[in-house]
Amino acid sequence: MRVMGLDYGSKTVGVAISDPLGITAQGIETIERKEENKLRKTLARIEELVKEYKVEKIVLGFPKNMNNTIGERAEKSLELKAMLERRIGIPVIMWDERLTTVEAERTLIESNVRRENRKKYVDKIAAVFILQGYLDSLCIGK
């Protein structure tokens, strides 16, 4: 069973996919859009990827504030969750993503990726961290 991980930002969505056994996460792309509220093409692309990879579940990053409250970005993520469930019809799990973008940025720095190139990869890497965290939590429970 494949699982998709999404890092939903104001202008991009990082996308990761699990291997068929649900053990590891791999980044596959970053979906870009010109305006924050224009989601039609973004939703269509996510739906295409769900079909292509035969995804059965989506894990969506939930950007809570550091004090565990829900801010504007988290509200927008909840709205995206509702849209995805309506459109695609598979479960969408919210996953605490605090500091995943910081972790992704640090990983890129440690990998000597130039500053001007990091922006291209950071959302996809953050999606990998979100999905891998979820997958690891499943293994711990077994």
pLDDT digits over 65-94, tens only?
Answer: 778 888 888 899 999 999 999 999 999 999
Which secondary-structure segment (H or E) carries 95?
A: strand 92-96
Comparing 92 with 9, which gets the higher pLDDT?
Answer: 92
Helix (H, G, I), strand (E, B) or coil at 83: helix
Residue 59 Cα to chain centre, angstroms: 7
Looking at CATH, the fold of the domain delimited by 2-140 is given as Nucleotidyltransferase; domain 5 (3.30.420)
d(CA 72, CA 52): 32
Sequence ranges of the domains in the chain:
2-140
What percent of the chain lies above the pLDDT cut of 70?
94
| Cβ neighbours, 10 Å, residue 132 | 19
Radius of gyration of the CA atoms of the chain, in A: 14
